[in-house]
Amino acid sequence: MVIAAARVHPEKKQWVARCGVSRFYNDFTSLVQDPDLDAIIIASPTGFHATHIEQAAKAGKAIFCEKPLDLSFSVVKKVVQIIKKANIPFMLGFNRRFDPTYCRLKDALQTGKVGTPHLLRITSRDPGPPPVEYLKTSGGLFLDMAIHDFDMARYLLDDEVETVYTEAAVLGEPRLKAFHDVDTAITTLRFKKGTLVTIDNSRNSAYGYDQRIEVFGEKGVWGATNPTATFEYHSDTQGFHSPTLLPFFMERYEASYRLEMGAFLKYISEGGPSPVSAEEGLQSMAISIAAQRSVEENRVVCLSEIINN
Amino acid sequence: MVIAAARVHPEKKQWVARCGVSRFYNDFTSLVQDPDLDAIIIASPTGFHATHIEQAAKAGKAIFCEKPLDLSFSVVKKVVQIIKKANIPFMLGFNRRFDPTYCRLKDALQTGKVGTPHLLRITSRDPGPPPVEYLKTSGGLFLDMAIHDFDMARYLLDDEVETVYTEAAVLGEPRLKAFHDVDTAITTLRFKKGTLVTIDNSRNSAYGYDQRIEVFGEKGVWGATNPTATFEYHSDTQGFHSPTLLPFFMERYEASYRLEMGAFLKYISEGGPSPVSAEEGLQSMAISIAAQRSVEENRVVCLSEIINN
Amino acid sequence: MVIAAARVHPEKKQWVARCGVSRFYNDFTSLVQDPDLDAIIIASPTGFHATHIEQAAKAGKAIFCEKPLDLSFSVVKKVVQIIKKANIPFMLGFNRRFDPTYCRLKDALQTGKVGTPHLLRITSRDPGPPPVEYLKTSGGLFLDMAIHDFDMARYLLDDEVETVYTEAAVLGEPRLKAFHDVDTAITTLRFKKGTLVTIDNSRNSAYGYDQRIEVFGEKGVWGATNPTATFEYHSDTQGFHSPTLLPFFMERYEASYRLEMGAFLKYISEGGPSPVSAEEGLQSMAISIAAQRSVEENRVVCLSEIINN
Amino acid sequence: MVIAAARVHPEKKQWVARCGVSRFYNDFTSLVQDPDLDAIIIASPTGFHATHIEQAAKAGKAIFCEKPLDLSFSVVKKVVQIIKKANIPFMLGFNRRFDPTYCRLKDALQTGKVGTPHLLRITSRDPGPPPVEYLKTSGGLFLDMAIHDFDMARYLLDDEVETVYTEAAVLGEPRLKAFHDVDTAITTLRFKKGTLVTIDNSRNSAYGYDQRIEVFGEKGVWGATNPTATFEYHSDTQGFHSPTLLPFFMERYEASYRLEMGAFLKYISEGGPSPVSAEEGLQSMAISIAAQRSVEENRVVCLSEIINN
């Protein structure tokens, strides 16, 4: 099986496919038409995702595409239709669903160890805002960052959102105001089966990349805490000290990226339902849009307002 | 100094004053008129608080009163006026303000160790709903239980609430529905200086009395975790295990009740501003009422709607 | 029941008995002969213990005596005989046996949760050496401090020691050399049923009073960790931080002192075997003497060398 | 640079060299004489180490050899001489010296954060005894397993051992008695600069591979705790639970094996002193032999007895 990574090679400035030995292309069109390629990994900038998916789908290639599908909800809806019609294997890159610790939480929920879930609490804080250049095209806190947490809530609870309420503010990075973006938010979700969810997001975590989840159910509480790079501690006159958190997502989710790619390979080799379908992306994106609207209009937003329009 | 505890002695069925040797009274009126008494601790059922405060205030006694002042907001407003006019020492029983762990958080905030607070997260879960008899007159989750958390947020942030949004549900104790009460809630508060607060409450904690606080600010995160009764652990083929939480508030807040009484004694001996004034009770109660209204009307409630009416 | 505390009242410079209202005596002899007294708590300096026990035993009083019985092993042997002949209730003050956390370890061992114990590891470190005046008459590290750990090993394992090997040094407080005392030691004990024990002691713990125990057995490991005064934490750029240890034994073993006295009251009211007999003191002291000899002669010492001489 | 791994390829039953593309040899002699090879990694069974080193040294190759050099102390002495005379780059495989957590402890010691080290405590427990076939030729607990801990003590303290005392027993795997081997041991080491060390070893850890280190010095305590595979927890009526330890050394020391190989590549590319010289192996092995003798003769053994004979 030969897989093309639709990412421009940083030195050669060419598109690259790799399987054992690398192969280079002058443009995405020639890459996608190479009959030797079985699957395409679309890791190009978000603005290209829709076009690249369409081209690859036409060429009948299996596709892995990094999230989000697009920043426009109507474009995403069209992409979902294109994939459906092309009837090709498609997987969306919500890598956190493959994190071994979160998988233990999912398993506890699925096997009834938690009982009926009452409350889900997600803390998701970046160690600092991304560069202004990135922020311009990121889609904002809810489409760029909180979408991972919204997707995680859907994934863990195996349920869909009914209402969304978000309070947000710019508390750490005043330049965000120019982009009508925020760096701090608390979102409350009500899920259809009754679970209440609170998600707090920040771009300003002085102590590293903080990613915690806690599900509270009738039988107790299950949580995921933060790993650290090393495991030493010390005690002195000032107290007990242990290491700070991992710097950012590349370190924190290293295993999940690896396992995600394994799931894609298994999926395109052995078939079966997509590990993360394009429709999943649509649903999670709808929550981001609802959160954005809740902030703008200072009110509770029903997800049906977004999905059905 | 002689202090009367306005609590009916469980065996003698008489009101009791104690300072060294106990003294008994047939009714609260004769107790409150005993010229030997300097101060009255009002720990009678909530329905008596307003009357007892009025009587004690008229008699010129210093007063400590357990929260809440009353379940009716208009009565509370009147009580606050009565206390103000009587110009007597008055302290309200928000005991958690004296918890040594929370005091460390307060100190960290006051001394600038946290920096500007961005987010405050409170988890407050009871080990089980109280008896139905109690619930009937409790005032509901927000006036009976969450008011402690609302007060804690005000105390820690030294700031007042602007807006309140609450999602709530009955997920564990269906009999609550008959009282129009809930057992699960997530409340989002926006404070005037900009801090966003999320509070999750439950009456159904299978693993004990869970009381955690976390303040996230520009310099890092400060939190209060749960103590346990003992400090053993064990590891076996199933993992690492350590003791469950303390059963309930009598164990968890033992130190804070002791220190609260110490603060009252110091206050009535040495003077100075009240450790917890009646106005504090009014403000925290207003948040409870706003949360209740937010649930009933499924919308964001401005605190000014409550306070100014 | 009236109990005399054989401790000179710090202000009145008189011996004192207390039960409700205090009673004072000019000397221990008149105290011990007061027919109203049922029991005597001997908390006088170690040098008086033997004489006070003898007097109280003659007077037929029930006795609680702080450890050690005496610094001379031959005197201790005699005291044990005196108590035996007098046939009075006697309890020795090894307070740590009543610590709620250690009791959980004892319970785990007794109920088979640990399985056969293979290894026992005790860490016992004082926050600093006591004043030189105290050290002069303390009996040295092994009789004053490590004896608690030796007793704990015997108590937890319900077994007696066969061999003792100790390495010791003066690493923090050079003035100890003048008293032929040490401030740092590692003791290896082999118990009769086969468990191996390592105990490390220090008088120089910069980070507070460190008292940890770990039993490793066929089914896993059970341990006791250190409590702290408060339960806050914080994370910043430097890592995760939580409070330092309790300052010393008065804070760390507060509950065990209270429960110990409760056990004494129950014992003298209801009868039964002594919670901690004088013979227990003899056995634990023998280990201290063996450790001391091991250091002096740089060799393994069989406990039978001490006990049978 | 081409490196040969002196390990028989499991399928081809041939010796293998690999650098990009693999190359195979019928015997070690033809491998070692391949002029294309720059360095040899000797990962053959212990019995071959001495011969393979000698051959590779004659051929002038750089050598990485897994510990131990040999099970016979006199052979090891000869091997050390051969390496010295050949004047080739040589590195011994004490992989744990490259563990990132232990490196933080080493750094704390070297930079004075611990102050003078008073006590070092190592806990090193295998999840179960290896197969009997392996045990026959392993050299026993001290040469096979505890040698890692002895080496770690030397590495961390940057000091050499003066005396060794070991208590050992067969408590979990009775078949060990037939090989005069043990599965449980406590070793006390006195180092030349005064630090006292206690190491407890077991082959019977029911709860996984337990590898902990704690250095206690004048400024406080620094320790290394166990990582786990995932980072979830849960609380229920039984208490708080988190994951069990990693299964064994392949998982626990994955990073250290990788970093060790990086240190070897850097060493043979850039020169400088060996990251772990053959003499280091000699010193750590001498402690293992002393521990063995201490058990056999039930006495303290001076390391000079071993080194100088």
Q: State yes or no: pLDDT of C208 exceeds 60.
A: yes
Q: List the CATH number of the domain containing B78.
A: 3.40.50.720
Mind telling me how many Å the CA of B205 is from chain D's nearest CA? 9
Inter-chain residue contact C239 with A235, CB threshold 8 Å: no
Residue D54 C-alpha from the chain's centroid: 21
Q: What is the pLDDT of residue C18?
A: 60
What angle separates helix B278-297 from helix B147-157, to the nearest 10 degrees? 120
pLDDT in tens, B30-62: 889 988 888 999 988 889 999 999 999 999 999
Chains that touch A (3 or more CB pairs under 8 A): B, C, D
For residue B277, the domain's CATH number is 3.30.360.10
Three-state SS for D159? Answer: coil
Chain segment A160-180, per-residue pLDDT in tens: 999 999 999 999 999 999 889
B241 with D236: Cβ contact below 8 A = no
DSSP-derived 3-state class of residue C2: coil
Give tens-digit pLDDT for D297-308: 999 999 999 998
- Its ipTM equals 0.94
Residue B95 CA to residue D255 CA, distance in Å, equals: 50
How large is the average pLDDT for residues C240-251?
Answer: 95
Strands D62-66 and D90-93: parallel
**B22, HSE (Cβ side, Cα atoms, 13 Å):** 11
Give pLDDT tens digits for D19-68.
Answer: 555 778 888 888 899 888 889 999 888 899 999 999 999 999 999 999 99
How far is A244 from chain C, CA to nearest CA, in Å? Answer: 4
Q: Which residues of B touch A118 (CB under 8 A)?
A: 169, 171-172, 184, 202, 204
User: Which domain-ending residue is among A61, A88, A115?
Assistant: A88
Domain total of chain B: 2
Q: Which residues of D touch A226 (CB under 8 A)?
A: 231
C117-145 pLDDT, tens digit each: 999 999 999 998 888 888 888 899 999 99
Q: How close is the nearest chain D Cα to the Cα of A32, in Å?
A: 29
Mutation target vs D (from B202, B207, B236, B238; most D CBs, 10 A cutoff):
B207
Q: From residue D217, how far is each of A294, D112, D157 by CA, in Å?
A: 56, 10, 11
Alpha carbon of residue D38 to chain centroid? 25
Give pLDDT, residue B1.
Answer: 52
- Chain D interface with A: residues with Cβ < 8 Å: 100-101, 104-105, 108, 113-114, 219-227, 229-237, 243
Residues B84 and B101 in one domain: no
Are B66 and B103 in a shared domain?
A: no
- Interface touch A204/B298, C-beta < 8 Å: no
For C8, the token pair is: 């000179």
Angstrom distance (rounded) from CA C65 to CA C43: 6
Q: Which residue among B208, B238, B245 sits closest to D244, beta carbon to beta carbon?
A: B238
The CA distance from B225 to C230, in Å, is: 9
Question: B133: exposed, middle or buried (C-beta count within 10 Å: 0-12, 13-18, 19+)?
Answer: exposed
What pLDDT, on the 0 to 100 scale, is given for residue A40? Answer: 92
Antiparallel, parallel or unpaired: β D196-202 and D117-125: parallel
In the predicted structure, residue A10 carries a pLDDT above the cut 80:
no
d(CA C175, CA C177): 5
pLDDT of D24 reads 81
Q: Pairing between strand C196-202 and C117-125?
A: parallel
DSSP D203: S
Say if residue D68 is preceded by a cis peptide, omega within 30 of 0.
yes
Q: ∠ CA B122-B125-B127 to the nearest 5 degrees?
A: 160
Q: Which residues on C lie below 8 Å from D204 (Cβ)?
A: 118, 218
Q: What is the pLDDT of residue A7?
A: 63
Regarding whether B110 and B50 lie in a shared domain, the answer is: no
Mean pLDDT for all residues in chain C: 93
Q: In chain A, which residues have their Cβ closer than 8 Å to the Cβ of B163?
A: 167
Select from D88, D123, D140 the last residue of a domain: D88
A212: closest chain D residue by CA: D232
**How close A132 gets to chain B, by Cα (Å)?**
19
- Assign D16 a pLDDT band (cuts: 50, 70, 90): low
pTM here is: 0.94
Closest to A248 (Cα-Cα) out of A145, A171, A151, A106:
A145
Give pLDDT, residue A80: 97
| Contact state of A121 with B116 under an 8 Å Cβ cutoff | no
Q: Is the CB of B225 less than 8 angstroms away from the CB of C236?
A: no
Domain boundary among D69, D88, D107: D88
- Burial label for A8, CB within 10 Å (0-12, 13-18, 19+), is middle
CA distance B215 to C78: 62
Residue A83 belongs to what H/E stretch?
Answer: helix A73-86
φ, ψ at D93 (rounded to 5°): -85, 65
Q: Return the number of CB contacts < 8 Å for A and B.
A: 106
Closest by Cβ to B242, choosing from D206, D240, D244: D240
The one-letter amino acid code at D68 reads: P
**Crossing angle of the two packed helices A147-157 and A278-297, in degrees rounded to 10:** 120
Q: Which of A124, A162, A198, A245 to mutate to test the interface with B (most CBs of B within 10 A)?
A: A198
Predicted local confidence at residue A11, as pLDDT:
64
Q: Are residues D110 and D233 in the same domain?
A: yes
For residue A40, how many other CB atoms are within 10 A of its CB?
A: 27
Q: Which of D232, D235, D236, D242 to mutate to test the interface with A (most CBs of A within 10 A)?
A: D232
Mean pLDDT along residues D78-97: 97
Residue by residue, DSSP assigns A237-263 as TTEEEEPPBPSSHHHHTHHHHHHHHHH
Cα separation, A127 vs C223, whole angstroms: 36
**One domain for residues B66 and B176:** no
Helix (H, G, I), strand (E, B) or coil at C156: helix
Residues comprising chain C, all counted:
309
Domain range enclosing C223: 96-307
Series of mean pLDDT values for 10-residue runs along chain B (309 residues): 60 62 80 89 90 95 94 96 97 98 98 98 94 86 97 98 98 91 97 98 97 98 97 97 94 96 94 97 97 97 92
Query: Is there a single domain that holds both residue A115 and residue A185?
Result: yes
Tell me: do B294 and B147 sit in the same domain: yes
Helices vs. strands in chain C: H and E counts, helices first: 11, 15
pLDDT for C36: 86
- Indicate if the pLDDT at residue D138 is higher than 90: no
Q: What local confidence, expressed as pLDDT, does residue A2 receive? A: 60
At residue C304, does pLDDT exceed 80? yes
Q: CB-hemisphere CA count at 13 Å for A166?
A: 29
Same domain, C25 and C80: yes
pLDDT band at C9; cut points 50, 70, 90? low
Residues of chain C contacting D176 with CB distance shorter than 8 Å: none
Residue of A nearest to D105 (CA): A232
A209-220 residues labelled b (16+ CB within 10 A) or e (exposed): bbbbbbbbbebb
Cα separation of C300 and D298, whole Å? 8
Q: Are B291 and B122 in contact (CB under 8 A)?
A: no
Contacts of C283 (CB under 8 A, 6+ apart): C154, C160, C307
H or E element in which residue C111 lies = none
Instruction: Note whether A224 contacts D231, CB cutoff 8 Å.
Output: yes
What does D19-54 look like in DSSP terms, one character per residue? ESEEEEESSHHHHHT-TT--EEEE-S-HHHHHHHHH
CA-angle at A286, arms to A281 and A292, nearest 5°: 130
For residue range B148-163, list pLDDT tens digits in order: 999 999 999 999 999 9
CB pairs under 8 A between A and C: 47
Question: Cβ neighbours of residue B171 under 8 Å, at least 6 residues apart?
Answer: A116, A118, A194, A218, B183, B184, B202, B204
Residue A117 has, within 13 A of its CA and on its CB side, a CA count of 26
According to the model, what pLDDT value does residue B96 have?
98
Please tell me which residue, C30 or A86, carries the higher pLDDT value: A86
Residues D109 and D137 in one domain: yes
B interface mutation test: which of D202, D235, D237, D241 has the most B CBs within 10 A?
A: D235
Are residues C105 and B232, on separate chains, in Cβ contact within 8 Å? yes
C294 and C163 in a common domain = yes
B63 and B113 part of one domain: no
Residue A1: predicted pLDDT: 53
Q: How far apart are CA C14 and CA C31, in angstroms?
A: 10
Residues of chain A contacting residue C235, judged by C-beta atoms under 8 Å apart: 207-208, 210, 244-245
- pLDDT tens across C49-79, in order? 999 999 999 999 999 999 999 999 999 999 9
Query: Which residues neighbour C261 within 8 Å (Cβ) at sequence distance 6 or greater?
Result: C64
- In A, minimum Cα distance to D106 occurs at A232
Let me know: does B222 contact C233? Beta carbons within 8 Å. Answer: yes
Residue D111 sits in the same domain as residue D41? no
- Cα separation, B11 vs B7, in Å, equals 12
Q: In this predicted structure, what is the pLDDT of residue C133? A: 84
pLDDT of residue A183: 97
How far apart, in whole angstroms, are the C-alpha atoms of residue D43 and residue D18?
Answer: 14
pLDDT in tens, B255-279: 999 999 999 999 999 999 999 999 9
